[in-house]
Chain A
Amino acid sequence: MLRGLRHCPREGSGTAEPLIRLEGVSFGFGRNAVLEEICLEVRRGDFMAILGPNGAGKTTLLKVVLGLLTPAAGQVSLFGVPAGRFRERYRIGYVPQKAGAFGAFPATVWEVAATGRFARVGFWGRLSKQDEAAVREALAVLGLEHLACRPVQALSGGQRQRVAIARALAAGPEVLLLDEAAEGLDAAGEEAFYGLLERLNRERDLTVVLVTHDIGAVSRRVKQVVCLNRRIIFTGPPQECLENGKLSALYGMPVYVPGRGTESRRRRIYSRER
């Protein structure tokens, strides 16, 4: 009964306002426990990477935060409000895993990116000039202005992925949850993308939580790393995570993260499925 209410150690950085708070959250698909006793706090200004092998529950964790899945135990609060009563969903942006897999029915890049704005206007309201400006800016940020009138079906996989990111940014979120969002971006695009996230985090105080397998690429940039494999195995700054064989424990195999060299930095880490 009281299991979910037990005291959570405070993680994350400093004393900034907690935007996402998970207390003793557990979730399972049927009997298959996927998340167990997750305690996690994301504070304003955080730049957090979630690492873990395939099937570790990373996507599930994001979906629980977004209210797409209801936890079996524990509590989720968003912006200080219990998730069940939280209404201002537009404050949380989301780029789903495989976000670029849009259907085959025609829709332009503009139309898709604009759906990111719907959470703000509701479906009665019309998109105002301000809303349109926000969509345009999001497209510009991802280098998609010239494709605005193209149907998304006629874009490459990486371009579609950018559309999904633009859609999330168009909402003007305060927290951005990204599920392997850099998947399918080319080397320059990936560099630019992480650079963009870093800039948004620094300049606009956008809080970023990203799920990735590309430890090398994010370790220089993020402020916090969370290692997840059903339970939270480690929370802390990236340097600490890379030391002490924490990653090897997470993946159950020796893991070598290349240093800050440019060549090998992009090597990804794979592991057996759980």
Chain B
Amino acid sequence: MEIWQYGFFLRAMAAGVLCGVTCPLVGVFLVARRFSFLADALAHISLTGVALGLILGVAPGVTTLAVVVAAAFAVEWLRQRQRFFADSLLAVAMAGGLALGVILVSKSRGFGADLTGYLFGSLLTVRPEDLYLIAGLAALTVAAVILLYKGLFAVAFDEEYARAAGLSVTVINAAFMVVAALTVAIAIRAVGVLLAGALVVIPVLVAAGVNRSFGGALWTAAATGAVLVLGGLHLSYLLDLPTGPTVVLLGIGVLIGVTLCRRIVLRYRGKVVEAQDFGG
């Protein structure tokens, strides 16, 4: 394709694949824990980080990472104590982060022209140095997921049993929260704050629909994520649509398609379709 001659598009593809792979890798564990709304909540809380960067005159990337990681720890700490229902806890955290962010932004000299990019993603404007940062974060995430896979699986599947078996659940959870925060930071770059949660969750649901095993679901989700981002990128170029929303709508289309196909296949084989409930 003609567009492949342009450096910005190649960088967009590279960054897109990296995001597409990492987000669902983390998303699998979030969905299995019924905590998938965490990605959305952290993404919205990141506004506070951006605003802090603007006010303090620090690179917003740095403050965003710091705020998101801190928020992830806070949420995990509260979840452990079971003071609140996990999902309402996330709703509160998200509203609080967003509110604080908006107030801080109103006190700063304004958000500038980059607001749309921040909200909906800006893959096409990825600079080489951004790409290195994304690649670094992605490598860290993938390494963490591979190294911690057994612990993450055990905890996601049955946290109390993992604790009883003597796995260091607290350490695993803390490491996972850092990884999740890094991933959200990457996702914001790719599809923006409003759609980050979608990139974390949609490929996972697609994978969960076509897999019997957790390991299988993990790799399918990563592959699906990469394909979705690449597909969305090209579609948005061909049809002249905004990239982030195109990726998300393509993902939802694929999810619906896979779900329908699965029903048809199961019915054809005469198996009972069991109601599956992937609550947030």
Contact = CB atoms under 8 A, between A and B. Distances in A.
A70 B278 CA distance: 33
Most-contacted residue by chain B among A88, A96, A102, A111 (CB, 10 A): A111
Interface in B202-220: 208, 211-217
Most-contacted residue by chain A among B161, B213, B278 (CB, 10 A): B161
Interface residues of A, number: 35
A68 B216 CA distance: 31
A103 B158 CA distance: 8
Interface residues of B, number: 35
Contacts of B278: 104-105
Interface in A137-187: 149-151, 153-154, 167, 171
A201 B181 CA distance: 48
A7 interface: no
Given A118-B167, A119-B167, A105 B32 contact: yes
Contact of B153 (A111, A149, A171): A111
For chain B, what secondary structure do more than half of its interface residues adopt (helix, strand, loop), or is it mixed?
Answer: helix
Given A68-B160, A118-B154, A106 B167 contact: no
Most-contacted residue by chain A among B28, B153, B274 (CB, 10 A): B153
Contact of A103 (B150, B157, B166): B157
Contacts of A119: 165-167
A8 interface: no
Given A66-B164, A94-B165, A111 B213 contact: yes
B78 to A, nearest CB: 18
A120 to B, nearest CB: 9
Contacts of A153: 274, 276
Interface in A84-98: 87-90, 92, 94, 96
B157 A112 contact: yes
B161 A106 contact: no
A210 B274 CA distance: 33
Given A107-B157, A115-B157, A150 B212 contact: yes
Interface string B60-85: 00000000000000000000000000
A66 to B, nearest CB: 4
13 contacts: A89-B166, A99-B161, A103-B157, A110-B213, A111-B215, A115-B154, A115-B157, A115-B162, A118-B151, A118-B154, A118-B165, A123-B149, A150-B212
